[in-house]
């Protein structure tokens, strides 16, 4: 992969700016109710990166913890109230960040999505070729699986 320097990101209103030191290594579409509510859309285009590669100043960002799925600290911009980045810290030694791909300014730097999860919650039928996973646990396990495989081969 090409060496990319500091991928620029911002929240929808542009007030909260941050950057990534590396390209995210997993990308998928999430159809869960939390994403639908937070993003006010049928599904969310999500990228995953190690949290140590996310450079985000905490001022101007509020952190709200939603009980599921999973225990994610979701950073919300104080101005537009939209998600900035979510941090998952439940696995010791492996901090992960989940970011809405729309917050990344140059989406051409992203890898293609691997599939759709929480598809049983879909509000829109998706006609693409990507695999679709239904069910809470199957969706959770699939994301863990994608992350573990990419971490092992990287």
> Which positions touch Zn ion (CB under 5 A)?
11, 13, 15, 30, 32, 35, 77, 79-80
CB of 2 to Zn ion, least distance (A): 29
Q: DSSP letter string over 46-94?
A: EEEEEGGGEE---TTEEEEEESSSS-EEEEEETTT--EEEEEEEEETTE
CB of 15 to Zn ion, least distance (A): 4
For Zn ion, give the closer residue by CB, 32 or 49: 32
Report which secondary-structure segment, H or E, holds 34. helix 33-39
CB of 106 to Zn ion, least distance (A): 19
CB of 28 to Zn ion, least distance (A): 9
Q: DSSP letter string over 100-148?
A: EGGGBS-GGGSPPP--EESGGG-SS---SSS-B--SHHHHHHHHHHHHH
- Given a contact cutoff of 8 angstroms between Cβ atoms, the answer to whether 29 and 44 are in contact is yes
For Zn ion, give the closer residue by CB, 3 or 26: 26
For Zn ion, give the closer residue by CB, 33 or 128: 33
For Zn ion, give the closer residue by CB, 16 or 51: 16
């Amino acid at each position: 992969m090409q060496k990319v320097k500091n991928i620029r990101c911002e929240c929808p209103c542009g007030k909260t700016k941050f950057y990534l030191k590396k390209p995210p290594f997993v990308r998928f579409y999430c159809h869960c109710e939390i994403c639908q509510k937070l993003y006010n859309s049928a599904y969310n285009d999500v990228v995953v990166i190690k949290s140590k590669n996310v450079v985000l100043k905490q001022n101007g960002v509020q952190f709200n913890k939603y009980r599921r799925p999973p225990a994610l600290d979701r950073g919300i911009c104080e101005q537009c109230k939209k998600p900035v980045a979510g941090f998952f810290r439940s696995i010791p030694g492996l901090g992960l960040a989940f970011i809405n791909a729309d917050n990344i300014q140059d989406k051409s730097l992203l890898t293609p999505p691997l599939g759709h999860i929480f598809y049983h919650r879909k509000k829109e039928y998706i006609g693409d070729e990507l695999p679709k996973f239904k069910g809470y646990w199957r969706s959770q396990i699939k994301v863990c699986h994608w992350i573990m495989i990419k971490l092992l081969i990287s």
